[in-house]
Amino acid sequence: MQLTIKHTGERPDGVRNVFLVKDASVLKDFGFNNEALAYVDAKIEAKETLITIQNYSTVYYVRIVSDEEPSNKLYEALRKDGSSVYANMKKDKQSDVCIYDVIGDKPLTLALTEGIALSSYRFDKYKTEQKDEAKDICIWVASSALNQADLDELRLLTNAVFVTRNLVNEPVSTLNVEELSETISELGAIHGFDVDVFNKTKLETLKFGGLLGVNKGSVDPPAFHILEWKPEEAKNAKPIVLVGKGVVYDTGGINLKTPPGSLDDMKSDMGGAASVVGTLVAVAANKLHVHVIGLIPATDNRPGGNAIVPGDILTMHNGKTVEVLNTDAEGRLILADALSYSEKYEPELVIDLATLTGSAVMALGQYATVGMGTASDEVFNELEKAGNCVYERIVRFPFWEEYGELIKSDIADIKNLGGREAGAITAGKFLSHFVSNPWIHLDIAGPAFVKKEDSYRGSGASGVGVRMLYEFLKNRC
């Protein structure tokens, strides 16, 4: 399926039509008769904002926007309305739509367009019966407030989200560490960012004790990926480093996950890695003037071979020792090595993304990401603002020193698990031992993979993190 978004000054034939208006009377200019206008007015009186007019096979949508100040909630409502429009198009096997921006508002029009575009994603490559026809999707946009360059940027960003969703949705049987490395290298070649992959021998030389330790139960070797986008016009003197947890499948190791149903979606435990890949794709494809480096440690977590067991001691890349209390707290072990390695770049900021803890899910569900770290309030506020803009919201958790007491070990420097309380925070405290530069930890365990259809986010992989980080990086450059 190919997604196309085109600017137009004409009315294309044979497509669905969506009108973005404040005053229904302007619909006269588009041929709406008195009966249709009366129908729209009645729906407005009933407080409806997305109005559907159907005359046999011809369907029109009218989105009424009030005069109130635009807000993030309004943009999100428009994305969801775009999803509703696409759902109806799909039901009727329609693939083309034209949005008419009658009010001349760029952000509102882009939000509506984005909702349709993101909703067009499907992961059905393994279906053999009743497979959706992979029709090309074309969204026409008639607006004096934006141009083709604006729409190209949105299309490339949407495709980057789809890259992330595809990586997360792919089962480990067809996306193990080696195949992940190949996919990342191919994406780098296509979009223009550099990729370097460290093999197991290199990791042993670098003493990546966390990544190598988690990998001991697997028959597949680990890998460490370095992705870099460094344009000549980069606005930042020091890079921004993004770190993504790449556990391609997590059984829990020797501490096998229970109940068995909790294993169903563990292919998604590399959601952080996928978000970093998608962000690099978006940044490079749109040629942002910002120096970004992505670091992705990758392995699966299995209970075979010489798998680590509770009581083992691991020596990490930075020389610190870790007492392993639970092998299902493996993500922080591989992230620790990557965060430690990030120090060599002397970055202005490090952001890690990880499907790290059930504690984050219990606290916020699928509706927000847990955030914490050592970056300044100003930087946190910038990231939160970007998240609010695209409705990938961050809730900042406390990071007080007292939480660090919960991961002290009697026989090593630290242990990889605190108690039942504040699990998301103690995981962050663990990671803080491996990074000294300004740093933000994002626990995306809740929103990264959703089992029930959620508007334009769909079901399965949501691609969370890509749009937020792109907005954040764009604002900084």
* Domain range summary for the chain, segments of one domain joined by +: 3-146, 157-476
d(C-alpha 431, C-alpha 413), whole Å: 13
d(C-alpha 298, C-alpha 243), whole Å: 11
267 touches 172 (CB < 8 A): yes
Q: Tell me the two tokens of residue 192.
A: 């223009």
Q: Tell me the two tokens of residue 204.
A: 């042993």
Question: Is 245 noted as a catalytic residue in this protein?
Answer: no
105 touches 20 (CB < 8 A): yes
Residue with tokens 């960012």: 193
Phi–psi pair at 140, nearest 5 degrees: -90, 140
**pTM (2 d.p.):** 0.97
Catalytic position from the list 257, 287, 385, 474: 257
- Reported as type and span, the H/E element at residue 327 is none
pLDDT per residue of the chain (477 residues) written in tens, 0 to 9:
899 999 999 999 989 999 999 999 999 999 999 999 999 999 999 999 999 998 877 899 999 998 877 899 999 999 999 999 999 999 999 999 999 999 999 999 999 999 999 999 999 999 987 655 557 999 999 999 999 999 999 999 999 999 999 999 999 999 999 999 999 999 999 999 999 999 999 999 999 999 999 999 999 999 999 999 999 999 999 999 999 999 999 999 999 998 877 899 999 999 999 999 999 999 999 999 999 999 999 999 999 999 999 999 999 999 999 999 999 999 999 999 999 999 999 999 999 999 999 999 999 999 999 999 999 999 999 999 999 999 999 999 999 999 999 999 999 999 999 988 999 999 999 999 999 999 999 999 999 999 999 999 999 999 999 999 999 999 998
DSSP-derived secondary structure for 172-226: TTT--HHHHHHHHHHHHHHHT-EEEEE-HHHHHHHT-HHHHHHHTT-SSPPEEEE
- Reported as type and span, the H/E element at residue 443 is strand 439-443
236 touches 477 (CB < 8 A): yes
d(C-alpha 228, C-alpha 250), whole Å: 27
**What pLDDT, in 10s, does the model give residues 352-367?**
999 999 999 999 999 9
3-class DSSP state of 440: strand
**What pLDDT, in 10s, does the model give residues 257-298?**
988 778 999 999 999 999 999 999 999 999 999 999 999 999
Catalytic position from the list 16, 79, 332, 457: 332
Question: Is 474 noted as a catalytic residue in this protein?
Answer: no
Please count the other Cβ atoms lying within 10 Å of the Cβ belonging to residue 237.
Answer: 8
- Domain 3-146 coded CATH 3.40.640.10: no
Q: In CATH, which of 3.30.1360.70, 3.40.630.10, 3.50.50.60, 3.40.50.300 is domain 157-476?
A: 3.40.630.10
